[in-house]
């Protein structure tokens, strides 16, 4: 087994009996399989590798599709921070080898307490897989006599059970008749991303038997999606994951971080190298030589595999539009220098490579070790340091093996540090190359304050590249990453969103924009509406905050709390939705 120390812990842990009970639950899953990648998405938030009865694993990231070869073993989400009493709250999984920190389903919230029962976990042990073509068909035929929508459209989890104190609005949908109720027989349909998507909901509100951490009270809505676009190799060799993380608890968490674990195995997992591309916000793994051996290997010129944080959590507000040309989070974050105050989101702020060892350089076992890694430290909490030159002292660093991608030395606080800047596994830190082997890593985003009843959003890209142009797989994957990042930055809030049925009849509202944005007292519209026009304002949870008729081209928002909102303008059968910030 790849992590023998987990076996020892499993035998000694007082949680063993509980873990055995958990193992009887096989989580639902489905495959994204619309482009060159076949990727398994699992209902409890773990990606790709499926743990079977008895403890074995089935790989689930086939690339290229149909090859029966795999470049990715497993990926999972970590999040941790401290409450006002400085108690660490953390959820994180690696392989579910010991147990689980995440469970399927939405949370019940009552009198400030959060819960999730066995019956909810079992009922929500599902994923919903839907394609653009299926939505098109539904849109064209929902009025047909005898029409029955596909099960995943008919059962789309748009609403929670309010009698069980769940949120009323869950999975996103297009509400054709604007009644705020999902009904596919009215023409309503799921709002998916990409050409094919898989939706799932999970939470951390039960015993954390994988990390031993204490629950945060978070509910996570995941949407994994992919595109199939003729002539677009970057999109066709990528899958995306969007996480909406709701803090349903009554507690704020400070010094919070999000991490995304990546156990990337290029075929034969015993001969790989790890690297970070700081400017692209990605970690990637590639074969240690030009031949990948073994029954599971790729042979000559094997592929490379990357995982990028396209956009992480919102940075804490500072009442300015942070500039885009600084040697800091602006390097790979978004929202910098766009004349909008406090919309900046982190990208990847640190990376960590794990060796398969039982010391401070290995994988974490307990919550404190998970958090130390998230905080860019070793398992025991000691600082990670690197020597800049043969004669200089040591400085703290944030990115493992940046391989020339950190041109302004952000990872060493702007220090002149040649050994760090050029650091890669082929040469090592002191001129001695590392031996290829089993590699995994973590992409980190933070720190931030995760406020009670707030939402954080994480956008990820899993990018594969198989050299067919003579560039080499590493060069090709960087080309793909650049294209993906550029596409995402054009409209990060709605990247990949797929709408059907909003055609020419809605065109009269397409020119709508509002100003100023952000606004404090009034927002003004770029056009004047007739007397039949009305408006509705929703918060990021989808809750309706305000509504009314529009009598002029301005709207008083002084009564709203500071934050992000969606404004929907309704004019007959037409509508348009725009986002704004109240400050």
So what's the pLDDT on residue 191? 94
Burial tier of 399 (Cβ tally within 10 Å: 0-12, 13-18, 19+): buried
pLDDT at 23 over 80: no
The DSSP letter of residue 104 is: E
So what's the pLDDT on residue 540? 66
For residues 222 and 1, the model is more confident at 222
So what's the pLDDT on residue 468? 66
The bridge status of strand 47-48 relative to strand 455-465 is unpaired
Quick one: which of 83, 89, 113, 96 has its CA closest to 44?
96
Average pLDDT over every residue of 42-71: 90
So what's the pLDDT on residue 18? 34
Question: For the ranges 269-278, 458-467, 522-531, which has the lowest average pLDDT?
Answer: 522-531
For residues 98 and 133, the model is more confident at 133
Residue 578 binned pLDDT confidence (cut-offs 50, 70, 90): confident
Pure H helices in 422-472: none
Radius of gyration of the chain (CA): 24
- Both tokens assigned to 425: 């596994």
Over pLDDT 90: what percentage of the chain? 66
- CB-based contact 420:397 (threshold 8 Å): yes
Query: What domains does the chain contain, in order, with CATH numbers?
Result: 4-93+100-368+454-497 (no CATH), 504-582 (2.60.40.3080)
So what's the pLDDT on residue 506? 32
**Can you give the pTM of this predicted structure?**
0.84
So what's the pLDDT on residue 494? 87
Over pLDDT 70: what percentage of the chain? 90
Question: For the ranges 96-100, 280-284, 315-319, 565-569, which has the lowest average pLDDT?
Answer: 565-569
- CB-based contact 428:422 (threshold 8 Å): no
pLDDT at 551 over 80: no
Quick one: which of 102, 223, 106 has its CA closest to 159?
106
pLDDT at 514 over 90: no
pLDDT tens-place string over residues 209-231: 999 999 999 999 999 999 999 99
pLDDT tens-place string over residues 433-467: 889 999 999 999 999 999 998 999 999 999 999 98
So what's the pLDDT on residue 25? 54
- Both tokens assigned to 227: 């595109």
So what's the pLDDT on residue 507? 33
Question: For the ranges 127-141, 271-285, 549-563, which has the lowest average pLDDT?
Answer: 549-563
Quick one: which of 312, 335, 356 has its CA closest to 5?
356
Q: What is the DSSP string of 484-552?
A: HHHHHHHSGGGTTEE--S--GGGGGGTT--EESSSBSSEEEESS---TTEEEEEEETTS-EEEEEE--S
Average pLDDT over every residue of 505-512: 39
Residue 157 sits at the vertex; the CA angle it makes with 44 and 147, to the nearest 5 degrees, is 130
Residue 530 binned pLDDT confidence (cut-offs 50, 70, 90): low
For residues 97 and 299, the model is more confident at 299
pLDDT tens-place string over residues 458-508: 999 999 999 866 779 999 999 999 999 999 999 888 899 987 644 333 333
So what's the pLDDT on residue 228? 95
So what's the pLDDT on residue 493? 84
- CB-based contact 267:464 (threshold 8 Å): no
Average pLDDT over every residue of 510-514: 55
Residue 372 binned pLDDT confidence (cut-offs 50, 70, 90): very high
Distance CA 30, CA 43 (A): 9
The mean pLDDT value of the chain amounts to 87
Q: Is the peptide bond before 518 cis (omega within 30 degrees of 0)?
A: yes
Distance CA 512, CA 507 (A): 10
pLDDT at 141 over 70: yes
For residues 124 and 553, the model is more confident at 124
Average pLDDT over every residue of 153-172: 94
Q: Which residue has the tokens 């051996």?
A: 293
Residue 65 binned pLDDT confidence (cut-offs 50, 70, 90): very high
């Amino acid at each position: 087994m790849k992590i023998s120390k987990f076996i020892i812990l499993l035998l000694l842990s007082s949680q063993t009996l509980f873990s055995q009970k958990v193992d009887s639950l096989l989580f639902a899953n489905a495959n994204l399989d619309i482009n060159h990648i076949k990727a398994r998405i699992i209902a409890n938030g773990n990606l790709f590798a499926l743990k079977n009865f008895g403890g074995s694993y089935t790989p689930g990231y086939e690339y290229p599709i149909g090859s029966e070869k795999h470049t990715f073993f497993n990926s999972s989400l970590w999040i941790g921070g401290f409450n006002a009493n400085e108690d660490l709250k953390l959820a994180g999984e690696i392989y579910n080898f010991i147990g689980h920190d995440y469970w399927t389903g939405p949370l019940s919230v009552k009198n400030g307490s959060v819960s999730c029962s066995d019956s909810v976990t079992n009922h929500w042990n599902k994923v919903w897989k839907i394609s653009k073509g299926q939505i098109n068909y539904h849109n064209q035929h929902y009025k047909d006599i005898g029409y029955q929508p596909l099960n995943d459209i008919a059962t789309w989890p748009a609403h929670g059970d309010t009698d069980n104190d769940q949120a009323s609005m869950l999975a996103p949908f297009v509400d054709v008749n604007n009644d705020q109720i999902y009904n596919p027989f009215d023409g309503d349909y799921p709002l998916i991303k990409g050409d094919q998507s898989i939706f799932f909901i999970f939470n951390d509100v039960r015993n954390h038997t994988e990390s031993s951490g204490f629950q945060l009270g978070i509910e996570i809505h995941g949407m994994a999606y992919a595109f199939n676009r003729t002539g677009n190799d970057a999109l066709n060799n990528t899958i995306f994951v969007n996480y909406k993380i709701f803090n349903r608890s009554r507690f704020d968490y400070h010094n919070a971080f999000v991490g995304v674990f990546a156990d990337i195995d290029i075929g034969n997992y015993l001969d790989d190298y790890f690297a970070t591309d700081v400017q692209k916000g990605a970690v990637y793994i590639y074969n240690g030589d030009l031949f990948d051996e073994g029954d599971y290997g790729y042979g000559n010129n094997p592929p490379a595999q990357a995982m990028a944080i396209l956009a992480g959590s919102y940075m804490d507000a500072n009442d300015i539009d942070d500039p885009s040309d600084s040697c800091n989070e602006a390097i790979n974050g978004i929202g910098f220098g766009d004349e909008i105050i406090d919309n900046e989101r982190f990208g990847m702020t640190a990376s960590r490579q794990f060796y398969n060892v039982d010391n401070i350089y290995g994988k974490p076992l307990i919550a404190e070790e998970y958090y130390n890694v998230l905080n860019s430290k070793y398992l025991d909490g000691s600082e990670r340091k690197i020597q800049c030159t043969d004669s200089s002292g040591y400085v703290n660093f944030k990115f493992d093996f940046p391989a020339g991608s950190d041109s302004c030395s952000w990872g060493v606080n702007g220090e002149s540090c040649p050994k760090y800047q050029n650091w890669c596994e082929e040469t090592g830190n002191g001129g001695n190359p590392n031996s290829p082997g089993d590699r995994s890593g973590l992409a980190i985003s933070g720190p931030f304050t995760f406020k009670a009843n707030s939402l954080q959003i994480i956008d990820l890209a899993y990018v594969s590249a198989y050299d067919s142009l003579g560039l080499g797989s590493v060069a090709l994957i960087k080309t793909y990453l650049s294209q993906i990042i550029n596409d995402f930055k054009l409209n990060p809030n709605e990247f990949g969103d797929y709408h059907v049925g909003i055609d020419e009849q809605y065109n009269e509202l397409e020119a709508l924009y509002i100003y100023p944005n952000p606004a404090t007292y009034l927002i003004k519209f770029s056009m004047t509406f007739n007397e039949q026009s009305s408006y509705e304002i929703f918060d990021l949870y989808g809750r309706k905050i305000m509504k009314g008729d529009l009598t002029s081209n301005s709207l008083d928002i002084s009564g709203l709390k500071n934050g992000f909102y969606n404004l929907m303008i309704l004019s007959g059968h037409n509508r348009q939705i725009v986002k704004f910030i109240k400050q």
